[in-house]
Structure 1
Amino acid sequence: MRLEILKYPEASLNEVCTRVEEVTPELKEAIDNMIETMYDDDGVGLAAPQVGLQKRLIVIDPSGPKERTALQVIINPEIIASEGKVDSEESCLSCPSFRCVIKRSEKVTVTGQDIDGNDIKIEADEFLAIVLQHEIDHLDGTLIVNRVGRLKRAMYDKKIKKWQKSTGK
């Protein structure tokens, strides 16, 4: 089932998520729905808080919705090491029509668990490293609009308010 993606400035997107203590049948169903939603919305990653679930859980597939060859579910992901810096042009399913350049780590090491509760460790660079950092940011209540300067964010806020006014949302 396709889920609704929460959009900025939804307040819950700024909250820090809680750890997943148990993978229940309900959580597995939510994960399946997150994967479907990510692909349907042409995304390469989706964090649980983007669909209203305040849990430390992400789904990613840097190969994208057309290839679907690199799907990973990561429960309680944590960046344990990083190195280097790189500029990354990013967009976000929760921040429609917003693009920006963010300084990210060039390489990251992420630990967590897979859907079966097995410990995993991912050493990532290039695009995979960017996707992991972006989605883990969501679990800490950080959106890409929180990583830009005041002027760019103010311009986006104005655009969102104008859109909300015109659509009555």
Structure 2
Amino acid sequence: MTLRKIYTHPHPVLREKAAKITEFDDKLRQLAKDMGETMYAAKGVGLAGNQIGLARQIIVVDISAHEDEQRYLTLINPVISEGEGSESDKEGCLSVAEYDAKVVRFKKIRVTAQDLEGNPLDFIAEARFARIIQHEVDHLHGKLFIDRLSKLKQDMYKRKLKKILDKQEG
């Protein structure tokens, strides 16, 4: 197991469009394992390739039924093909330092993807599970949850980020 570095905004890799994965091999399985371990070590519930510096279409999503377990689903080349309903709820991000905000997302989505062997997946996700998948798929398109906020809230975050970065440098 290798814990990966999680890149934070404003690193440019977070704005890259992730490349489709075509090789389903042991390296990919190890990458998924590393991502799962990294996500849990950082106390996250989802992680995308971009967040660890690899602009490739892979995400891991927590599917644990209990707090004391660590089970995740790996989705390769995920696509959200349908969405219905909408709901606003608080989101944070391992790549967005010290900030959370309410974001509007679909309540229910249809997801197509591939598993670690390259087999097709097609399923409906709802509620929290759907929210996490939407958040992580956004990463694969170079989009952060703060991009979905009002201009005012984006400006507030930019000021906060500047203070955080100034503090790190000073």
Distance 1:164 1:103 in 2: 28
**AA of the residue aligned to 2:166:** K
Aligned to 1:44: 45
- Provide the aligned length of Structure 1 versus Structure 2: 168
Aligned to 2:168: 167
Is the CA contact (8 Å cut-off) linking 1:42 and 1:65 kept in structure 2?
A: no
Aligned to 2:159: 158
Moved over 3 A (4+): none
Matched, 1:14 2:18: no
| Equivalent position SS for 1:7 | coil
Residue 101 of structure 1, CA deviation: 0.8
Measured on the aligned residues, the alpha-carbon RMSD in Å equals 1.5
More displaced 10-residue stretch of structure 1: 104-113 or 22-31: 22-31
Is the CA contact (8 Å cut-off) linking 1:40 and 1:65 kept in structure 2?
A: no
Aligned to 1:67: 69
Distance 1:62 1:129 in 2: 11
Gapped regions of structure 2 (runs ≥ 5): none
Aligned to 2:89: 88
Distance 2:121 2:130 in 1: 15
Is the CA contact (8 Å cut-off) linking 2:13 and 2:54 kept in structure 1?
A: no
Residue 160 of structure 1, CA deviation: 1.4
Gapped regions of structure 1 (runs ≥ 5): none
Aligned to 1:31: 32
Residue 27 of structure 1, CA deviation: 2.2
